[in-house]
Structure 1
Amino acid sequence: MDTPATYNRSTTTDEVQNSVSLPLTWRDYIEVTKPGIVKSNLIVIVTGFWLASAWSDTFSFLLFLITVVGSSLVMGGSCVLNNYLDRDLDLKMERTKDRIIASGRMSAQFALIYGMSLILIGTTMLGIWANSLAALLGLIGAFIYVVVYTAWMKRTTDLNTVVGAISGAMPPLIGWAAVTGNLEQGAWVLFGFLFIWQIPHFLALAIMKSEDYRAAGYQMLPVVKGFLETKRQILLWTGALVPVSLFLYTVGVVGKIYFVTAAVLGLGWLALAIAGFFAQDVMKWARQMFAYSLVYLIVLCVVMMLNAL
């Protein structure tokens, strides 16, 4: 068994050849948790917590910190296990072949223990200092992401993006549940909003990275059914997102400023999705869709919090 504090240059995941030992740094332990994904999910955790606090007319800064830290540990641990399970296919893709676990710089055995430990610590924090519902939601999200999405569906079906979106929509539920101990109507609208948002967002990314996914053997929609069907699915889900995004106003969680902002940005994204059928440069269009989706989410989350009722 490789020691966790060494780098091991390897040609395969499990058999190390020509190894060069170097000490792991604290950055390596952070990098393997995919901090970009964790940070992007923090905004929706904070949004769920903030809206629930406004809805229930209560706010605890200590509970806020516990929710953020506990959720981050669960998400980070899940990402470590994602890297652990994907290490064989990561070696086949140019952009992922140098990841810490895939390249052997961190041993697979240690990564497994590390990821599970982070999830355990995070759910324990949520269960003890927030509530059992928040902890349970964290575990459900981790299970779907690691077991259902990563270990199973990414390798077997192009429906993996839809199923994976369930785990990605759990963070706002965790934030909401930490405050109220329940999942009121507003929490479920947030879940639906983020669930639908992820699908056109990640399908655009799948188009951008389609050749990498093809080389690795991932069953992503652009690889299995082509760009035209992917564009159709992007249009379908973007169209569905527009009315769902407005439900937060109808259930009394946010005000009119959010309603107008969501309507304008949603119609703008829908127009861009339609433009994809006429795009001469599909990759350029996919990059525009991906960038727009990020701006859309960040702006709406900020407006939600500023316009919370």
Structure 2
Amino acid sequence: MTTTHASDRLGTDARIAARAAERDGARASIARYYSLTKPRVLFANALTAVAGYFLASAGRFDLWVFASVTVGSTLMIASACVLNNVLDRDIDAIMQRTRARATVSGSVSAVRAVVFSVVLGALGMAALAIGTNGAVMLAGAIGFVTYVVLYGMLSKRLSVHGTLVGSVSGAIPILSGYLAASGRLDVGAVIAFAILFLWQMPAFYSISVYRRDEYARAGIPVISVARGIRATIFQILIYTVAFVVVTLLLPLSGLVGIVYSAVMGVLGLGWIWLGIRGLRARTPEVWARQMFRFSMIMVLAICLMVSVGPLLP
């Protein structure tokens, strides 16, 4: 009896251990696929879609439309990011910050990643089709093609202007949110798109400064590699000024008022001042990291202020 009991106990323990291993394996697999969506990029872009919706809705909230554009845009962005991971395997294997990605290590095969991307994209477009309008669906498709093909496959590898092309796709989510709420392409939509387009230039040019050596090793002709650090700093300052000017044009649309203008004006002047400091920076890499960190503050501020601005004076 004792031997039988011990055998049963060992069998039970083995089954428990096997189930635990299966759960751990499933969690690890989910984590690998989730990482392919570039979560930080994904949720930052989804946040701008939410901000675009609140900007155009001006307090009129339709839960169905809001959920559709938020979920649909998030899935479309995730699909594009996954496919970009597949296309960038050769580059990612060289760059230190990306060499551990699942598509580089082989823990997720290229075929499975493509299938995952297709499923995400199909679900995303379905969500947009169910709850939004044709303009939002068109914007989503343009953003996907621009990011995957025009940026990821072509300009990123071939041209110093890759960041410009990529910034188009990065500005699509706020436009999608706006179009979902308003159903029309008006002055407010154009300014909102321009704000996010211009924000990306100093943000990503700053990254190109402090990761210049990595981009050079990977053969990516970013501006800091193709034209040097000094020229890049000038471009960062120019785009920072342009961004601040355009953010202060948004009140002309009648969607936001004095509170928005005051907050964005003060923050904008602070970012310009930091950009000017770059002209005399002894260690451009340190300064560039400061610029990038401030860009994160700016994008969070713009998302908050365009969301609540229509409800404030």
Q: How many residues align structurally?
A: 287
Determine the structure 1 residue equivalent to 2:14: none
Q: CA deviation at 1:307?
A: 2.0
User: Residue by residue, what CA displacement relative to the aligned partner does 1:231-289 show, whole Å, maximum 9, x if unpaired?
Assistant: 01101111111210011111111010111111111111111111001111111100100
Q: CA deviation at 1:297?
A: 1.5
Q: CA deviation at 1:23?
A: 8.7
- Unaligned 5+ segments in structure 2 are 1-24
| Percent identity of equivalent pairs | 38
Q: Which has the higher helix share?
A: 2
Determine the structure 2 residue equivalent to 1:49: 53
Q: Does 1:30 align with 2:34?
A: yes
Partner Cα separation in structure 2 for residue 134 and residue 307 of structure 1: 23
**Match of 2:31, as an amino acid?**
R
Partner Cα separation in structure 2 for residue 129 and residue 253 of structure 1: 24
Q: Which of 197, 200, 219 is equivalent to 1:198?
A: 200
User: Residue by residue, what CA displacement relative to the aligned partner does 1:54-99 show, whole Å, maximum 9, x if unpaired?
Assistant: 1xx5211222112111110000000001100001111111211110
- Contact 1:169–1:192, Cα closer than 8 Å, also in 2: yes
- Unaligned 5+ segments in structure 1 are 1-20
Determine the structure 2 residue equivalent to 1:92: 94
Tell which structure's C-alpha radius of gyration is larger. 2
Q: Provide the secondary structure at the position in 2 that maps to 1:33.
A: coil
Q: Does 1:246 align with 2:230?
A: no
- Contact 1:249–1:255, Cα closer than 8 Å, also in 2: yes
Q: Which of 146, 149, 153 is equivalent to 2:148?
A: 146
Q: TM-score, normalised by structure 1?
A: 0.90
Determine the structure 1 residue equivalent to 2:44: 40
- Contact 2:55–2:309, Cα closer than 8 Å, also in 1: no
Partner Cα separation in structure 2 for residue 226 and residue 103 of structure 1: 32
Partner Cα separation in structure 2 for residue 116 and residue 306 of structure 1: 35
User: Residue by residue, what CA displacement relative to the aligned partner does 1:98-133 show, whole Å, maximum 9, x if unpaired?
Assistant: 100011111111111211221121012101221121
Partner Cα separation in structure 2 for residue 106 and residue 24 of structure 1: 11
Q: Which of 224, 232, 235 is equivalent to 1:233?
A: 235
Structure 1, 162-171 or 299-308: larger mean CA deviation: 299-308
| Runs of 4+ with >2 A deviation | 21-24
- Contact 1:66–1:126, Cα closer than 8 Å, also in 2: yes
**Match of 1:36, as an amino acid?**
R
Partner Cα separation in structure 1 for residue 150 and residue 295 of structure 2: 25
- Contact 1:127–1:133, Cα closer than 8 Å, also in 2: no
Q: Does 1:257 align with 2:259?
A: yes
**Match of 2:93, as an amino acid?**
L
